[in-house]
Amino acid sequence: MNDTPRRFSRRRFLAGSASVAALATAGLPLQAVESEPLDLVTRQTSYAFDRPVTEGLVSLIDNAPPPVIRMRQAAPFVVNLTNGLSDYTTMHWHGIRLANAMDGVPYLTQFPLAEGDSFRYAFTPPDAGTYWYHPHCMTMSQMAHGLTGILIVEEPDDPGFDTDLPINLKDFRLDDDGQLLPFFTPRGAARAGTLGNVRTANWQIDPVHELPAGGLVRLRIVATDTTRVYKLVLPDAPGTIIAWDGHPVDEPIAWPSEESPMWLGPGQRVDVALRMPDDEGSELTLQTMIANRPNSLARLRSVGPSLKRDLAELKPLARNPVAEPDLASAETREMVFGWTPEGDGEDNGFCGNYGYSFWSIDRQPWPGDAVEGVGPVADLTLGKSYVLRLRNESPNLHPIHLHGLAFVPIQSNQRQLPRNWTDTILLLKNETIDIALKADNLGDWAFHCHVIEHQKTGLAGYIRVS
Ligand code: C2O
Ligand code: CU
Ligand code: CU
């Protein structure tokens, strides 16, 4: 059945040739968009950052970051995942609205995979855009060791970029000899989380990407770090924000400045359309603000004669088919995220517990891995609309993430939020945000903070749609 040569459309071929070059410099193997099953094996590997080789990293490729996986909107996709690690694992497809059984959440939707076990993840992504994948078992340790990858769902219509450049932002915690430092610290877990000390983009430190001068670039920036809230700026770059958390923006988002950078919390994504400068050698720099100072994460350098493109030539992205909630009939459910009196977590599974419960949803810390006897944070009826009132009663930031459904922020007690579809929303200190959704996907959907130390010490639960 598969002996006919693979057919690439002309568009694919053209888009592919530009992005292959870009991805080669990014060190990211390009996955074919064809929907034949992809076989992936989790494995330990080593990699050299800017110091002696780091051993014990986790990836799906030897000596390289996990690949960018591309699929097509509305086309079936299959991944056979085999666990090559001695620890248990599962894989989760962050932001994809899929069938619950494919969501990769241990105990809630599947059993953890032991060494040598395989699982067939098959789904048809309804929405185009920039998503990502990561384990949901041993999440803290496997993500901190590198297992986070970008997942791209291509639009049927080519928007017209010369280059598509995915950027996976992630920190590592390394000592001078390249060895991994503890990624979980009780002190960090009880506060803002434990930050890494080596900032990378596609596992590279401040890489330079050579891109056609005067060309149009789609930068897909994905915050896969377990802790860091990026505050991104792209000084002097002519560009616009075209998508946020996968979905094309309905309400424009202001271009960032050092005074008001783009805040991208763990789990969030932003797609930016940029025009490269005309002169060969000119650079645009993606930076993150730390203590009010810009730090370079990646550079884009113009090469070759100018393509003389214009941002106005880009086709706007089509909206994704997310159902609008009916606010008139929506019921409101409130939930509060906060500390808990310190207690002991339970160790009732194979997915990595640390024995602490610093955090809670509705004063209930998530008790370990297994869900037996733990009720949902909210019980929603299929097809109905809801407003979820998310209240942060702590001084820390929490990127709150819901699996399986997209939602839209409708108000905050602190700021004006653009009404764009998302799956992860950053709650600021003492902020309350109302989000609205239509409960149109059946199942038990994980609902948690994406600062993984918070998730793993209580700030987790699930929402049931039945
Ligand atoms: Cu990206 Cu439950 O997570
Ligand atoms: Cu998710
Ligand atoms: Cu949190």
CA of 46 to the centre of ligand 1 (A): 25
Of 33 and 174, the structure prediction assigns the larger pLDDT to 174
Determine the pLDDT at residue 343. Answer: 61
As a whole number, mean pLDDT of residues 280-285 equals: 98
Q: Is 57 exposed, middle or buried, given 0-12, 13-18 or 19+ CB atoms closer than 10 A? A: buried
Determine the pLDDT at residue 368. Answer: 77
Determine the pLDDT at residue 340. Answer: 86
Ligand 1 atom closest to Cα of 424? 1
With a 6 Å cutoff on the Cβ, whether 401 touches ligand 1 is: yes
CA of 450 to the centre of ligand 1 (A): 7
With a 6 Å cutoff on the Cβ, whether 136 touches ligand 1 is: yes
Determine the pLDDT at residue 342. Answer: 61
> Which residue's alpha carbon is at the smallest distance from atom 1 of ligand 1?
94
Contact present, 196 and 171 (Cβ < 8 Å): yes
pLDDT band at 166 (very low <50, low <70, confident <90, very high): very high
Determine the pLDDT at residue 344. Answer: 62
> Which residue's alpha carbon is at the smallest distance from atom 3 of ligand 1?
94
Ligand 1 atom closest to Cα of 105? 2
Determine the pLDDT at residue 9. Answer: 30
CA of 50 to the centre of ligand 3 (A): 30
Kindly tell me if the per-residue pLDDT of 25 is higher than 90.
no
pLDDT band at 101 (very low <50, low <70, confident <90, very high): very high
Look-up of token digits 């905050």? 412
With a 6 Å cutoff on the Cβ, whether 448 touches ligand 1 is: yes
With a 6 Å cutoff on the Cβ, whether 94 touches ligand 1 is: yes
CA of 143 to the centre of ligand 2 (A): 14
> Which residue's alpha carbon is at the smallest distance from atom 2 of ligand 1?
446
pLDDT band at 367 (very low <50, low <70, confident <90, very high): confident
CA of 222 to the centre of ligand 2 (A): 13
CA of 405 to the centre of ligand 1 (A): 12
> pLDDT tens digit string along 398-421?
999 999 999 999 999 999 999 999
CA of 402 to the centre of ligand 1 (A): 8
Determine the pLDDT at residue 319. Answer: 97
Ligand located closest to 448 CA: 1
Determine the pLDDT at residue 345. Answer: 63
The three-state DSSP-derived secondary structure of the chain is CCCCCCCCCHHHHHHHHHHHHHHHHHCCCECCCCCCCEEEEEEEEEECCCCCCEEEEEECECCECCCEEEEECCCCEEEEEEECCCCCECEEEECCCCCHHHCCCECCCECCECCCCEEEEEECCCCCEEEEEEECCCHHHHHHCCCCEEEEEECCCCCCCCEEEEEEEEEECECCCCCECCCCCHHHHCCCCCCCCEEEECCECCCEEEEECCCEEEEEEEECCCCCCEEEECCCCCEEEEEECCEECCCCCCCCCCCCCEEECCCCEEEEEEECCCCCCCEEEEEEEECCEEEEEEEEEEECCCCCCCHHHCCCCCCCCCCCCCCCCCEEEEEEEEECCCCCCCCCCCCCCCCCCCEEECCECCCCCCCCCCCCCEEECCCCEEEEEEEECCCCCEEEEECCCCEEEEEECCCCCCCCCECEEEECCCCEEEEEEECCCCEEEEEEECCHHHHCCCCEEEEEEC
* Cα separation, 366 vs 456, whole angstroms: 8
* Cα separation, 187 vs 368, whole angstroms: 19
Determine the pLDDT at residue 20. Answer: 34
> pLDDT tens digit string along 33-83?
445 799 999 999 999 999 999 999 999 999 999 999 999 999 999 999 999
Residue ranges with CB less than 5 Å from ion ligand 3: 398, 449, 451, 454
With a 6 Å cutoff on the Cβ, whether 456 touches ligand 1 is: no
With a 6 Å cutoff on the Cβ, whether 269 touches ligand 1 is: no
Ligand 1 atom closest to Cα of 403? 2
> pLDDT tens digit string along 302-324?
999 999 999 999 999 999 999 99
